[in-house]
Amino acid sequence: MPNNNFELSKGDDRMIRVYMKDENLDILDLNGAEARFYLSESSKSSTYVIRKSTNSYSEGVIRTPERGEVIFFLGASDTKDLDPTQYYFQIVLILSNGRRYTACTGYMNLYTNLEYSVVIEPSIESLNIVEIPEGSASLRLSLQPQDVVFATLLAPSQTSENICISNLVYSGSGIIDVFFTATILEPGWKLSYFVSSLPEEP
């Protein structure tokens, strides 16, 4: 009984082609036969997560019976919700005389597909406004290491200065330096910001 392994990214379509042979490696005539594909979490599992049969044309087909050719079809919906890990599969052959054989076994390595990954949405904290001292070319904020700042510079109503935020530098320890395009010389300038905190990785 041959062992065959294959790889797949979860949620991808896949056509699995197998040629059935007997113990002497002679091609089996599959006229009137049925082939079934089973996928389970391990070789010791008593249940399966995927089952395909050549009795259903959308699941599989005996394409050329005299050559022992069997094709199974895996669709995107079959694997997109499975955990990316190694799975065990069996192909069972039921001949026209009723005799059945486990014709092929192996492992399917299922890999992550970013299209079906979970997006971690940040939690947005309340808005903060701080005064910027005169003569400042930057402003330092002390936050948490996982925090990301979205900042806006607020100018006093009577100013003629056109000053913007030029850069934000993260130290990695929670210290964030906000740099301006010019030194602020007038009173009334403020920095408005909110913090987006991504959850820590498990």
In tens, the pLDDT along 123-164 reads 556 678 899 999 999 999 988 777 778 889 999 988 878 899
Structure confidence by residue, pLDDT tens digits, 161-175: 889 999 888 877 888
Residues 151 and 100 placed together within one structural domain of the fold: no
Does a structural domain hold residue 202?
no
Domain boundary among 80, 96, 116: 116
82: pLDDT strictly greater than 90: yes
pLDDT value, residue 26: 81
- Residues 149, 81 share a domain: no
Q: Are residues 34 and 110 in the same domain?
A: yes
Q: Which of 99, 116, 133 is the last residue of a domain?
A: 116
* 138 part of a folded domain: yes
Domain assignment present for 173: yes
Give me the domain span that covers residue 155: 123-197
Last residue of some domain: 73, 101, 116? Answer: 116
- Mean pLDDT, rounded, for 110-122: 73
Q: Is residue 163 part of a domain?
A: yes
Decide if pLDDT at 58 tops 70.
yes
Q: DSSP characters for 100-151?
A: EEEEEEEEEEEE--GGGPPP-PPEE---EEEE--TTEEEEEEE--TTEEEEE
Domain count, the chain: 2
Say yes or no: 59 and 36 in one domain. yes
Share of the chain above pLDDT 90, in %: 48
pLDDT recorded at residue 202: 47
Whether 1 is in a domain gets the answer no
The reply to whether 129 and 190 lie within a common domain is yes
Q: Is the pTM of this model over 0.75?
A: no
The answer on 24 and 83 residing in a single domain is: yes
What pLDDT score was predicted for residue 198?
57
Q: Is the residue at 88 inside a domain? A: yes
Kindly state whether residue 98 falls inside one of the protein's structural domains: yes
pLDDT averaged over every residue in the chain? 86
Q: Tell me: the pLDDT tens digits for 35-54?
A: 999 999 999 999 999 999 99
Do residues 111 and 21 both lie within one domain? Answer: yes
